[in-house]
A = this chain, B = another copy of it.
Amino acid sequence: MKILDGKLIADQIKSEIAKDVQENFLDKGLEPPHIAAVLVGDDPASITYVNAKEKACHEVGFLSSVYRYPANITEQKLLEAVDFLNHDNQIHGFIVQLPLPTHIDEQKIIERIDPLKDIDGFHPVNIGKMTLNQPCFLPATPYGIITLLERYGIETTGKNCVVLGRSHIVGTPISIMLSRKSNAGNATVTICHSYSQDIPSITSGADILIVAIGKEGFVTADMVKKNAVVIDVGVHRVPSDETKSGFKLKGDVRFDEVAGKCSYITPVPGGVGPMTIVSLLLNTLKAAKLEIH
Contacts and interface: CB of A to CB of B under 8 A. Distances in A.
Given A166-B181, A188-B190, A195 B128 contact: no
Nearest to A159: B197
Interface string A164-203: 0010100011011001110000111111110111000010
A172 B124 contact: no
A125 interface: yes
Given A158-B196, A196-B188, A168 B132 contact: yes
Contacts of A173: 131
Number of copies: 2
Interface in A85-135: 107, 123-129, 131-134
Contacts of A176: 131, 172, 176
Contact of A132 (B127, B132, B175): B127
A186 B191 contact: no
A160 interface: yes
Contact of A179 (B127, B132, B134, B172): B172
B193 A191 contact: no
A229 to B, nearest CB: 16
A157 interface: yes
Contacts of A127: 127-128, 131-132
A56 B180 CA distance: 34
A134 B107 contact: yes
30 contacts: A107-B132, A107-B134, A124-B125, A124-B128, A124-B129, A124-B131, A124-B132, A124-B134, A125-B125, A126-B128, A128-B129, A128-B131, A131-B131, A131-B168, A131-B173, A131-B176, A133-B168, A158-B195, A158-B197, A166-B180, A166-B181, A172-B176, A172-B179, A175-B179, A179-B193, A181-B193, A187-B195, A188-B190, A188-B193, A188-B195
